[in-house]
Amino acid sequence: MVPRGRRPVAPRIGHAVDTAVGWTRLSLRTAIYAGTSSTVGAITPGPHLSQWLFARWCRATLRQIGVTVDAEGLEPTREHAPCVLVANHLSALDIPVLGAVLEGDYRWVAKRELFRVPFVGWHLWSAGHIPVDRKAGRKAVGPLQDRIDRVLRDGASVLLFPEGTRSKDGALQKFKMGAFQAAVRAGVPLVPIVLDGTQAIVRKGAFTLDPSAPRRVTIRGLPPVPYDADLARRDPDAAARALREATYARFVEALDGLRGAEGAALRPYPPVAARAAE
């Protein structure tokens, strides 16, 4: 008989072996794709081939771990390009999930630490993605805005996580101003992308998949959030604040709908809460 509250040893060993094999396969695939991408980026004009390779890596990664993506409503991400894309951030898995389904020319805004990771960082630099130094605080705002402006002027969209970091429990966090200031400053549409389900598969701080979690992720693209162009000219900060509030309300409404209860967007996602209570 297995002691109450403890898992049998054999399944735990099996899970550890599966995890080790999975990480090895993922590391090799990442090295191959990212290495090829950075080489291609160095010898060919534009980031398009690097982006194509990144999408292939994302889809192969999701196949390896058995994740399916239910994506709807992503037409605005293409029809309104160049634009500022904003997505809620639940898990490290958000990156391959979004990369597998998004089309068109776009750049990520990612923490600078990722640009220093071998292979991964080489790809990020070669594909023209945008680093942000979160430790620099307000001093990073000006250079970041300039980089975003250049990308948008060149006709590519920019993708940001306005929460700034992953949610620890699946609840929607407050939005920072950067994405909304960027949209108002450039005069481009702001298009929301709502994610749900990744936090149950790979929790923040975890290095393994939860074997009990459903391997299905939901993505919903929403129409652009309008903002007052006259106010943007007169008082861009006020316009950005209004845009942030309107966008946050859209995310709350969409997540409440996906989770089937009013207020669910602002509460811990049920599977995460259940594990924390054990």
**Would you call 227 helix, strand, or coil by DSSP?**
coil
Choose among 127, 159, 157, 128: nearest CA to 34: 127
- Type of residue numbered 249: A
Tell me how far the alpha carbon of residue 116 is from its chain's centroid. 19
Burial class (CB in 10 A: 0-12, 13-18, 19+), 119: middle
The predicted structure's pLDDT at residue 39: 74
Sheet containing 130-132, strands listed edge to edge, beginning at the edge strand earlier in sequence: 68-72, 216-221, 190-196, 84-87, 157-160, 106-111, 130-132
Burial class (CB in 10 A: 0-12, 13-18, 19+), 104: middle
Indicate the domain borders of the chain.
Answer: 9-277
Cβ partners under 8 Å of residue 229, min gap 6: 187
Enter the pTM of the model: 0.87
The predicted structure's pLDDT at residue 25: 73
For the chain (length 278 residues), average pLDDT per consecutive 10?
51 59 69 71 71 90 95 98 98 95 95 85 86 79 91 97 96 97 97 97 86 94 97 97 99 98 91 46
The predicted structure's pLDDT at residue 277: 40
The predicted structure's pLDDT at residue 162: 98
Neighbour count for residue 94 (Cβ, 10 Å): 21
Topology classification of domain 9-277: Glycerol-3-phosphate (1)-acyltransferase (3.40.1130)
- Type of residue numbered 231: L
